[in-house]
Homo-oligomer: A and B are copies of this chain.
Amino acid sequence: MKKFPVLEIFGPTIQGEGMVIGQKTMFVRTAGCDYSCSWCDSAFTWDGSAKDDIRQLTAEQIWNELSELGGDLFSHVTISGGNPALLVHLSELVDLLHEKEIKVAIETQGSRLQPWFSKIDDLTISPKPPSSGMSTDFDKLKEIIDYLDIENRLGHASLKVVVFDEADLEFAKKVHITYPELPFYIQVGNDLVQETSDDKLIGHLLSRYEWLIERSAKEKELNSARILPQLHTLVWGNKRGV
C-alpha cells in the first residue's frame, strides 16, 4: 500500500467554508503544496516549519486513526492540504473511505488533475487570485473541468475564490463567467492569519465580510454567487486542529 504525508487528523468538527459549509466532518490534512500563496493559512504544510510532524501513513493507517478519534460519529471526511491533488495514489484512501460508507470532500487550487477527482463527493476547486502572488494556469483549470464534465461529475464540484481586494474580485468574476455551470463561492480572505486576539480577529473578519457582501451586491456578474466567511475562524480564531 502507498503512503501519504499526513500532518493532522482531527474531528469530528464542521467544515467551515465552501460548498458544504457547516457539514459535520473529520479532517485529514496532507503535507506539501506546489504553490506558496502570500496569505496561506496552512503554510506549515509546505514551508518546512512542521516537517518533523509529517507522518507517512497508508490509507489503512489513516482510516484506523480516523476511527479511533471519531468512532461512529462521522460519515464525512475532508482531505485538505496543502494540495492533496499532488498525491497520485490518493484514490486508495478515497476508495477505502467509500467502502466504509464515508463521503469524501477535497479542496485543491486546480494546478493538477488526478483521475480520482471523479470519485470525490464534494470537490472544491479554488483558483488563487492575484493577491496570493500566484498565477492561475487556466488551461489546466479547463482540463480539470472538462474531465469532470465528461465523467458527469459537475454536480459534485464547485469553484471557490478567496477575495481580499478589488483585483481579486475581478479575478473571481472572470472565473465564474468562464464556468457558469459550476456553483460559485466567494470567500472573504483572512488577512490576519497571525492575529492571536480572537476579538480583534472576529471584528475585523466580520467587517471584511460585510465589505465583500456589499461589493458583490453591486456586481451583476455575481448574481448567482454565494458569499461566505470561514466559520471555523469565527469560532476558533487562528487555532489549528479544530
Chain A interface residues toward B at CB < 8 A: 11-14, 20-24, 72-76, 185, 199, 202-203, 206, 209-210, 213, 216-220, 222-229, 231, 234-236
C-alpha gap A235/B73 in the complex (Å): 32
CB distance from A139 to the nearest CB of B (A): 29
Q: Tell which of A12, A21, A22 has the most Cβ of chain B within 10 Å.
A: A22
Known pairs A24-B217, A24-B222 / 11 extra A-B pairs, C-beta < 8 Å: A12-B217, A21-B22, A22-B227, A23-B226, A24-B227, A73-B220, A75-B224, A76-B224, A213-B235, A229-B231, A234-B234
Residues from chain B with Cβ under 8 Å of A13 in the complex: 213, 217
CB distance from A88 to the nearest CB of B (A): 30
How many chain copies? 2
With A202-B202, A235-B210, A235-B213 already in contact, the answer to whether A223 and B73 are too (CB < 8 A) is yes
Q: Which residue of B lies closest to A74 (CB)?
A: B223
CB pair B223 A75 closer than 8 Å: yes
- Tell me the complex Cα distance, A159–B219, Å: 31
Is B75 a contact of A24 with CB atoms below 8 Å? no
Instruction: Report B-chain residues with C-beta under 8 Å of the C-beta of A227.
Output: 14, 22, 24
